[in-house]
Chains A and B, each alone.
Chain A
Amino acid sequence: MSKFLNALTASAVAATMLATPVAAEKLGLGRTATPDEVAAWDIDVRPDGLGLPEGSGSVMDGEELYSEKCSVCHGDFGEAVGRWPVLAGGQDSLTNERPVKTIGSYWPYLSTVWDYVHRAMPFGDAQSLTDDEVYAIVAYLMYLNDLVDDDFVLSKENFLEVPLPNEANFFMDDRADGELKEFAKAEVCMSDCKDAVEITARAAIIDVTPEDAEARKAREAKYSAEGDDAAASEEPAAEEATEEQAATEEPAAQEAAAEPALDMALVEAGEKVFKKCKACHQVGDGAKNRTGPVLNGVVGAPFAHVGDFKYSKTIREMADEGMVWTEDNLAEFLAKPRDYIKKTKMSFAGLKKEDDIAAVIEYLKSFPE
């Protein structure tokens, strides 16, 4: 810590910023925060342990919690699913061409893990963990990073005893000592600066940029010196025609559908409840599979109906038995996902309120396939 303070002092001097607060006239606005209010919001934790609450949790308990609440994104061993953050491993990889920055290989302080899990995890259900659960998950993350054995119990008391291995490899911004000096040039070359120029790297070869044909066409119509007639004049006409068609056809289509009417108030309530699901599931136009499958048309669809999604074995077996999602079984599933489908990959704990379940099902019904 003293090393850090030294570095900090040096930098503060270098930065030549204002030093002390100036006493000023107060306006008397706002009100005093109550101790309970401060306690409710002041949840941050520092490397020296300031802010840690009483409590403890074991690696064993942490494993269970982690597999239930974290593994769906971070993988069973912290190796991560898709592009979610890798949490374990990567030791000695920081000088590699592709470093793996994990808690064990990169993060300087364990307190950061505690603070972050407590304030922002699980993704989509932030601040739902108890203090003991956070201690347990952090203990398990330490275990995954080979920092403790499987019988370890992390508590407020022993929190500072296991430092993270990479702490010493961080240092205060020192751009001012090197690059800023070199890049502050009194004179720059303006003519005949080099003889030959070669292209050494090209983005087109890598080809990872999303295409936007619409934008390209719009720009061509607007800025092109020639040939704007074809692009500019024909298209709006075509668009108008389809609009008119749509206008006359729509009522008929609506009649034909004759779906049972949705309770729009309930749909609206369901949209709010669905926020809990959004971390993993998408619905609506352009929805794609994420951590969970697209949910368009799920009510009334056979189990595992999204062809390109990798469902758990259990749900695939249920699909083979001809199971179909109804409002009833969906309600049962949403109340306790793991009870209804053993070993489902969905790590969501379930919706506690029946009203919420009914609302979210109504919301899902508003997205027919």
Chain B
Amino acid sequence: MTVSFKGKKPSRRAFLKGAAAVGGTLAGAGAAHAAGDPLITEVQPWNNELGDGVDVNPYGKPSEFESHVKRRTVEWLTADPVSSINFTPLHELDGIITPNGLCFERHHGGAAHIDPAKHRLMINGLVDTPLVFTMADLMRFPRENHVYFLECAANSGMEWRGSQLNGCQFTHGMIHNVMYTGVKLKHLLEEAGVKTNGKWILPEGADASGMTRSIPIEKALDDCLVAWKMNGEALRPEQGYPLRLVVPGWEGNMWVKWLRRIEVGDEPWHHREETSKYTDLLEDGTARRFTWEMDAKSVITNPSPQAPILHGKGPTVLTGLAWSGRGTIPRVDVTIDGGKNWHEARMSGPSLDKSMHRFYFEFDWDGSDLLLQSRAHDSTGYVQPTKDELRKYRGTNSIYHNNGIQTWYVNKHGEAENVEIS
């Protein structure tokens, strides 16, 4: 066999591969009469040839067969990808934790890349001593770990006027749920000493949008974290590396990324993201401001438009997610007939405060049309409303805080569609 190679010599692996191919053909011929699944009766390449050595991927990646599992954007939503949003593929995930690389992104001036050695956190305003911390300083404070969901207030915002986007990634994917490690904001504020007239804080980002939001001091001293880890590893750049604010249960826009400064003041600042944006315009032309808490919400992630039933009738697993900015989710109800009859779903996995919860409902699909809905109950007794119940209070122009019940129509082929029902 004479083969001339330009450039690189054939690797040992390529050589083995060639040999395996020859061997495979022979084995194939020999096993022609074996009855059964050839995946079982014939030796498969991965069964025969060696796999990757260690360090082929020093930072591990998902299987090549999962390459379709990714965040996706909807181009027409925004003017430009630098100030835009993409969506978490909820229909591809299970359990309650969102993998770091799949957490949806929302930037207002692009994702900044900041050297942690050059990052500073300043606390100023109505404090006894204005302070500057380096990342190294922050690591010396006592740390805490908490799993919290972060939901953009505009999640499901495209659905106010009726069913629009076909897939839970797009209707509900402006959310993620990760474990944060960081220091309680309270400790940092105490270090600077908040003056008695300090009633509000203004966290500010170091990115090109200089994101700012006003947060009442009560929340700042209650459960807010200044975090540098997500799911055990450093924050991803698109999630605010090296430092972000965590504001449990409250709208995602307040969780300032690339956090560089916290000012203490006696009044709110009414900045752009709490006036022009993130205020809820009602039908009569007035608008709610400071709608911070995220109402209880749920969505069925499978089946759903991007995750149709492909196995035909018979045993079927329905699953989804539920969360509340006011506590835990002790119960989720599920209907498969458009709300004529409801069934209590089975909750599985940890039930943590202001974290996503996973639910399942297993049923025997007879192949007929389905109208699927889920209805979350939170620990305060609040029950997720229907979209029409919500519209009575909000009209259709409020963009934000749409937590109405989602409906998927599943036809006899198992294909699902985003619909609304009477």
Contact = CB atoms under 8 A, between A and B. Distances in A.
Interface of A: 11-12, 15, 17-24, 26-27, 29-33, 37-38, 41-42, 44-48, 73, 82-85, 94-95, 99, 101, 103, 106-109, 111-112, 115-116, 119-120, 123-124, 126-127, 169-175, 178-180, 182-186, 188-204, 206, 208-210, 212, 214-216, 218-220, 222-225, 248, 250-252, 278-279, 290-291
A119 B310 contact: no
Contacts of A182: 385, 389
Given A20-B196, A171-B286, A192-B340, A32 B140 contact: no
22 contacts: A12-B218, A18-B221, A20-B196, A27-B140, A29-B137, A32-B130, A42-B261, A42-B263, A47-B270, A85-B276, A94-B287, A101-B276, A108-B270, A119-B209, A120-B208, A123-B82, A191-B341, A193-B340, A202-B417, A204-B418, A218-B65, A248-B6
Given A183-B382, A188-B383, A209 B170 contact: yes
A173 B124 contact: no
Contact of A278 (B73, B82, B219, B261): B82
Nearest to B134: A30
A28 to B, nearest CB: 8
Nearest to A116: B272
Nearest to B338: A197
A72 B140 CA distance: 47
B422 A197 contact: yes
Contacts of B342: 188-191, 193
Contacts of B367: none
Contacts of A120: 108-109, 208-210, 272
Contact of A203 (B343, B389, B418): B418
A94 B189 CA distance: 40
B36 interface: no
Contacts of B131: 30-33
B166 A183 contact: no
Nearest to A213: B68
Interface string B263-304: 101010111100110010101111111111101000000000
Considering residues B83, B108, B283, which has the most beta carbons from chain A within 10 angstroms of its beta carbon?
B83
Contacts of B281: 94, 99, 101, 106
Contacts of B383: 183-185, 188
B135 to A, nearest CB: 11
Contact of A206 (B164, B196, B307): B164
10 closest residue pairs by CB, A with B: A17-B218, A197-B338, A203-B418, A215-B68, A201-B162, A94-B285, A119-B210, A83-B79, A201-B420, A33-B130
Contacts of A73: 79
Given A120-B108, A184-B380, 10 more contacts: A31-B131, A101-B276, A103-B276, A106-B281, A112-B276, A171-B286, A183-B384, A186-B381, A218-B67, A251-B7
Nearest to A127: B210
Contact of B216 (A12, A38, A41): A12
Interface of B: 5-7, 65-69, 72-80, 82-83, 108-110, 122-125, 129-134, 137-138, 140-141, 162-167, 170, 187, 189-191, 193-194, 196, 198, 202, 204, 208-210, 212, 216-219, 221-222, 260-261, 263, 265, 267, 269-272, 275-276, 279, 281, 283-293, 295, 305-307, 310-312, 333, 337-344, 371, 375, 377, 380-385, 389-390, 393, 397, 409, 417-422
Contacts of A170: 275, 279, 286-289
A195 B194 CA distance: 59
Contacts of A175: 288, 291, 293, 295
Given A17-B218, A44-B263, A193-B340, A112 B275 contact: yes
A17 B216 contact: yes
B75 A194 contact: no
Nearest to B133: A30
Contacts of A184: 380-383
Contact of B209 (A29, A99, A107, A126): A126
Given A30-B132, A191-B342, A212-B72, A115 B80 contact: no
A268 to B, nearest CB: 14
A209 B49 CA distance: 42
A115 B291 CA distance: 22
A220 B208 contact: no
A186 B383 CA distance: 9
Contacts of A188: 333, 342, 375, 377, 383
B204 A44 contact: yes
B102 to A, nearest CB: 13
Contacts of B265: 46
Nearest to B267: A46
B341 A193 contact: yes
A179 B385 contact: yes
Contact of A38 (B6, B124, B341, B371): B124
Contacts of B305: 203, 209
